Structure 1
Amino acid sequence: MIYNDFGNADFKVSDVGFGAWAIGGTAWGGGRRDDDAKEALKASLDAGINFYDTCDSYGDGHSEELIGEFFKGMRKEAVIVTKGGTNFRVPERNKNFTRDYLMMSLDESLQRLQTDYVDVYLLHVPDSKWQDEAEVFRTMEEIKKSGKARYCGLAMWGAADTLHALEKDKNGAIEAIECPFNILNKSNIEVVRIAKERNIAVFTSQPLASGILTGKYGVDTKFGDGDNRKGFWSKERFEAVQEDMKIIEECVKETGMKMNELALAYNLSYPGICSVIPGAKNADQVLKNTAASEKRLSESIMKKLSATKGFVF
């Protein structure tokens, strides 16, 4: 396992981390069991992973509970990231980035995680309006001063809102950014570039494009009710990336890697990305993910993969 600098932080993180959304609930196709989650966490630690990414809304807190229980008595073994701002306590699951709500959410997260601090606390996708009206940067600074989070930042989706935040943040409140990035989705390239210039840690969600870059799914795949991929990965979207998938498959053959390894290695070979956070529901998925650690792609392979068109948000 390789361990990379995390921006200006005084710790390093494993180049492959553990995305803990899937262990929290049924948003990724069901079949989740706590016993599998515990085995996955053990396998990740045994493989050298020290970077764990969760959120208060993953399974309405259950993901945090599992991580808290697993690392009880081993807190220093893990760099823990959690997030707040998605109000899962109401049926419509709306956003709330007010100071009081975030402070309450962080306290509840710490209870579930059985710790008195998190290494990184991220605001969970605040759009530009929330950023401006809720004065989120001031709240982030207060959270850090409280000692309840060592570093603060943003977990974002679209590049426009992230770029807005980077422009508005005048005091360096943003110390870390989590954003989707993969061979089929390069919408955050400019975010990664600016963050690298400012030495802001960037780690990437969706490095396997929600599992599409494992090669297990295709145009005939139909995701079930409750699966996050159902609305997004339609037959039409699969068809739209078929030419890209051919290029990816050619690179798989050329490198001798498995498709998921190639996808993770693409992110890890991209300047400015310190870690990838693929999800895992069981130990087998963890081992498949960690097989990509230390693997990097040649300039020629990176050029081919960077030329793929992907999809537009």
Structure 2
Amino acid sequence: MRYATLGRSGLHVSRACLGTMNFGTDAQAPTSDTEARRIIGEFLDAGHNFIDTADTYRGGASEEIVGHAIAHRRAEVVLATKGAAPQGAGPNNRGLSRAHLTRALEASLRRLGTDYIDLYQCHVPDPDTPIDETMAAFDGFVRSGKVRYVGCSNFTAAGIVSAQWAAHRIGGTPFISLQANYSLITRAIEAEIVPTCQQNGLGILAYSPLGSGLLAGRYQRGAAPAAGSRLAQWAAMPSPMAHAFVTGLLAERHFDIADEVTTVAAELGTTTPTVALAWLRSRPEITSVVLGPRSADQLSANLAGLAFELPESVSTRLDAASQCTISPPVNGQHHTA
């Protein structure tokens, strides 16, 4: 079993992280309570120790399922969750303010049935709250013993630097990790975010390693996403950002990359997801890959993919096929060609 230290810390995590966004108790949840517990058990039995959830996943049901499943194995689990997402209608029930994060942390601890979180993370940036307030609140959580380490998700390079300096100014607790969207389809973080993490002591946790399903063969060139798929649900949302994400993901160039991965998989006698995961695991800048299996069978396939060794020539070939030209950020957003 391979472990790595997370960022500039002494915390050892498995190279595979179990993402639990699909776990729920309602009829619409992709993964039932029973199957979720089976997945968690098999993940831990295989020697992996890193589980990630969030207060917003399935309305908190994901945290409850995870908490029950690991209750008798709590000491062997590096448990990560996130706060920031709306937890009510009021203006102070969201974001990264001290007021909201304090309530969010207490609620997560109750749902998880534990008295501490190993890694507590900002789920998204909050432009309305000074980063000094957020980092001071996080430092208070660590000093209270309710949180061991802190991290962030979806932060820009500038946001990471601002947070680390804010922690430094108060002699507080800095971030040790960043969760970022990263795969053969989405490599924009390589331009600025990866070097910023390396310079500021953050390990990188790569989520959506199969390109939101594109590298798993769930979507076809020129065809609308199948009814019931995640992309179909996003496409039906009234949000312009959701529509832009779906359109961007289904770009012709991304299907070209997926086709190359499929070709490589056929040549190696394996599957497209295996090739995509093996490439990602081989990236030295990635500490752990966040998997999101819906079933125990998917978990087994994903773990096998992470263990697969790609020939160096194949990795070089995939690098070339998926490398994008990244322009300087405009209004905080990268544009790729």
> TM-score, normalised on structure 1?
0.87
Q: Amino acid of the residue matched to residue 306 of structure 2? A: S
1:222 equivalent in structure 2: 225
Instruction: Verify the 8 A CA contact 2:150 2:176 in the aligned structure 1.
Output: yes
Q: For structure 1, which segment, 142-151 or 222-231, has the greater mean C-alpha deviation from structure 2 after superposition?
A: 222-231
Q: How far did 1:75 drift? A: 0.4
2:66 equivalent in structure 1: 67
1:306 equivalent in structure 2: 319
- The Cα RMSD (Å) is 2.8
> Do the aligned partners of residues 303 and 151 (structure 1) sit closer, same or farther apart at CA in structure 2, a change above 3 Å counting?
same
Mapping of 1:9-88 within 5 angstroms?
A: 9-24=9-24, 30-88=29-87
Could you tell me how far apart the structure 1 residues matched to 2:52 and 2:157 are?
A: 22
Q: How far did 1:9 drift? A: 3.0
Could you tell me how far apart the structure 2 residues matched to 1:238 and 1:133 are?
A: 35
- Quick check: which has more Rg, 1 or 2? 2
Is there any run of 5+ residues in structure 1 with no aligned partner, and where? none
Q: Amino acid of the residue matched to residue 59 of structure 2? A: D
Q: Amino acid of the residue matched to residue 245 of structure 1? A: A
Q: How far did 1:297 drift? A: 3.3
User: Does structure 1 residue 198 correspond to structure 2 residue 231?
Assistant: no
Q: How far did 1:213 drift? A: 1.2
Q: Amino acid of the residue matched to residue 107 of structure 2? A: E
Q: Residue deviations 1:174-217, cap 9 Å, x none?
A: 11111110000011113122212333121111111122211233
2:150 equivalent in structure 1: 152
2:273 equivalent in structure 1: 260
SS class of match (1:210): helix
> Do the aligned partners of residues 133 and 11 (structure 1) sit closer, same or farther apart at CA in structure 2, a change above 3 Å counting?
closer
> Do the aligned partners of residues 131 and 235 (structure 1) sit closer, same or farther apart at CA in structure 2, a change above 3 Å counting?
closer
Q: How far did 1:50 drift? A: 1.0
> Do the aligned partners of residues 301 and 52 (structure 1) sit closer, same or farther apart at CA in structure 2, a change above 3 Å counting?
same
Q: Residue deviations 1:52-75, cap 9 Å, x none?
A: 010000011100000000011210
1:165 equivalent in structure 2: 159
Flag the structure with higher helix content.
Answer: 2
> Do the aligned partners of residues 65 and 126 (structure 1) sit closer, same or farther apart at CA in structure 2, a change above 3 Å counting?
same
Q: Amino acid of the residue matched to residue 144 of structure 1? A: V
Q: How far did 1:222 drift? A: 2.2
Instruction: Verify the 8 A CA contact 1:81 1:122 in the aligned structure 2.
Output: yes
Q: How far did 1:221 drift? A: 4.9
> TM-score, normalised on structure 2?
0.82
User: Does structure 1 residue 280 correspond to structure 2 residue 293?
Assistant: yes
Instruction: Verify the 8 A CA contact 1:26 1:32 in the aligned structure 2.
Output: no
SS class of match (2:79): strand
2:328 equivalent in structure 1: none
Could you tell me how far apart the structure 1 residues matched to 2:57 and 2:92 are?
A: 12
Q: How far did 1:236 drift? A: 8.1
2:261 equivalent in structure 1: 248
Higher relative contact order (CA 8 A, sep 6+): 1
Matched residue count: 307
Aligned-residue identity in percent: 29
SS class of match (1:49): coil
Q: Amino acid of the residue matched to residue 80 of structure 1? A: L
Q: Amino acid of the residue matched to residue 19 of structure 1? A: G
Q: How far did 1:100 drift? A: 1.4
> Do the aligned partners of residues 75 and 228 (structure 1) sit closer, same or farther apart at CA in structure 2, a change above 3 Å counting?
farther
Q: For structure 1, which segment, 252-261 or 74-83, has the greater mean C-alpha deviation from structure 2 after superposition?
A: 252-261
Q: Amino acid of the residue matched to residue 160 of structure 2? A: L
Q: How far did 1:91 drift? A: 9.7
Instruction: Verify the 8 A CA contact 1:86 1:93 in the aligned structure 2.
Output: no
Instruction: Verify the 8 A CA contact 2:92 2:100 in the aligned structure 1.
Output: no
Could you tell me how far apart the structure 2 residues matched to 1:226 and 1:242 are?
A: 18
Q: For structure 1, which segment, 245-254 or 86-95, has the greater mean C-alpha deviation from structure 2 after superposition?
A: 86-95
Q: Residue deviations 1:90-142, cap 9 Å, x none?
A: 39998421101101101110111111111100011114x24536732222222
Match of 1:239 among 252, 270, 291: 252
Q: How far did 1:235 drift? A: 9.7
Q: Amino acid of the residue matched to residue 237 of structure 1? A: L
User: Does structure 1 residue 174 correspond to structure 2 residue 150?
Assistant: no
SS class of match (2:107): helix
Is there any run of 5+ residues in structure 2 with no aligned partner, and where? 236-244, 326-334
Q: Residue deviations 1:233-275, cap 9 Å, x none?
A: 4598253422212221232234443211211122211122111
